[in-house]
Structure 1
Amino acid sequence: MKNLKSIALALVVVLSTAAGTAQTKKIDVSKSSIEWLGKKVTGQHNGTVNFKEGAVVLKGNKLSGGNFTVDMASLTATDLSGEYQGKLNGHLKADDFFGTAKFPTATLVFKKIGTKSANVYTVTADLTIKGITKPVTFDMTVTGNSATTKFMVDRTKYDIKYNSKSFFESIGDKAIYDDFELNVKLVF
């Protein structure tokens, strides 16, 4: 009986320790995705950009960290094809937008995570685009080996001012809205 109690106590200790240990899980970059949506007065464009690498940190089954690197050279519009797609992609990669030759990657590093509800976390992270780091906050849902989030980014905070009404008041119908949307799916 004494041995049975010792075994049971050891099992409780092992299970408690395992549940509290942080585990880093690399994302599968071929299955994870980032879709973007940018709007302007006269319409919108959407597309994708690929992860270069990334990982989430889980403590038990709870989100406790994460960091990601995005390959900015993979930025592409998916709502256009041919010549028009090539022109938009070239412009988005140029210096007046993301300057991908000088800034080939963007990063996101989780700094603070709060539990909002079951499997939903409020994340504050440092987002670095064009060498400029600013905080962003978003909700992330984690289920099994995947996570999803959708959030807005103000491009002007990263020195992307091209056709922004915030900087060029008389731009009229050529204005591009400052915020763009990111819809992210992580598989790990």
Structure 2
Amino acid sequence: MKNSIKNITAIALVAFMTFSFTTIKGDKKEIKVAESKVVWKGYKVTGAHDGLISIKSGHLNFDQDKLIGGAFIIDMSTITVTDLEGEYKGKLEGHLKSDDFFGVEKFPTASLKFTKVKPTGKNSYEVIGDITIKGKTESITFELSVYGNKANAALKIDRSKFDVRYGSTSFFDDLKDKAIYDEFDIIADLQF
């Protein structure tokens, strides 16, 4: 009887230890931030501007080879402009970081957390997530592809939903050729 109790206790202890160190949600793959690239592009009536922004941290969750989740934090202070040089580059970068746009001093990060992932093909997924910019959270849907240890995604974000008002026809009338479109693009090339 004593041996049976010891055996049951040993089995329970081994099972407890196994479950304690087993990740139920699958493998968590950390994003290699230095090797990943995030490009932004904003549009206005008279043209467009583009640049880069850095990932502060992020990960993708997999169940075997199937994507099941993910989350990212973006360092808003790293907004740079790549289509301008000199004085105009500095002015636009400063303006994008100001309260007119992303209010980086008050809101130094933005985030994206996957809430639902649905396979749409061998390496492609439809992702629904919660994106937070300037303290406001909205749902977003986008496509993401995974190939080996790389992933890429293209997001279209409506800045007016995050109270980014400058030059927006959603908030101001009669802007004419000074209007800046509400939607901007994010293209992410990720390595993990």
TM-score by length of 1: 0.88
Runs of 4+ in 1 over 6 A off after TM superposition: none
Kept in 1, the 8 Å contact 2:25–2:61? The answer is no
- Residue identity opposite 1:129 in structure 2: I
- Residue identity opposite 1:27 in structure 2: I
Q: 2:103 matched to which residue of 1? A: 99
Aligned to 2:56, which of 52, 69, 79? Answer: 52
Which structure: larger Rg?
A: 2
Q: Aligned partners of 1:68, 1:62: CA distance in 2, in Å?
A: 18
Distance 1:42 1:59, change over 3 A: same
TM-score by length of 2: 0.86
Kept in 2, the 8 Å contact 1:21–1:60? The answer is no
- Residue identity opposite 1:138 in structure 2: F
Q: 1:174 matched to which residue of 2? A: 178
Note the alpha carbon deviations across 1:129-175, whole angstroms, 9 max, x for none. Answer: 00100011001001100100112000000000111112212110000
Note the alpha carbon deviations across 1:72-120, whole angstroms, 9 max, x for none. Answer: 0000111011110000000000001000000000000000010111110
Aligned to 1:134, which of 114, 138, 149? Answer: 138
Q: Aligned partners of 1:59, 1:179: CA distance in 2, in Å?
A: 33
Q: Aligned partners of 2:94, 2:25: CA distance in 1, in Å?
A: 45
Q: 2:8 matched to which residue of 1? A: none
Q: Aligned partners of 2:72, 2:170: CA distance in 1, in Å?
A: 30
Q: 1:3 matched to which residue of 2? A: none
Could you list the runs of 5+ residues in structure 1 that have no partner in the other structure? 1-17
Q: Cα distance, 1:21 vs. partner?
A: 6.3
Could you tell me the percent identity over the aligned residues? 48
Other structure's SS at 1:102 match: coil
Q: Aligned partners of 1:21, 1:170: CA distance in 2, in Å?
A: 51
Q: 1:7 matched to which residue of 2? A: none
Note the alpha carbon deviations across 1:51-88, whole angstroms, 9 max, x for none. Answer: 00000001110100100000000001110111100000
Q: Is the aligned partner of 1:40 residue 2:34?
A: no
Q: 1:165 matched to which residue of 2? A: 169
Q: CA RMSD in A?
A: 1.2
Could you list the runs of 5+ residues in structure 2 that have no partner in the other structure? 1-21
Q: 1:115 matched to which residue of 2? A: 119
Count of aligned pairs between the two proteins: 170
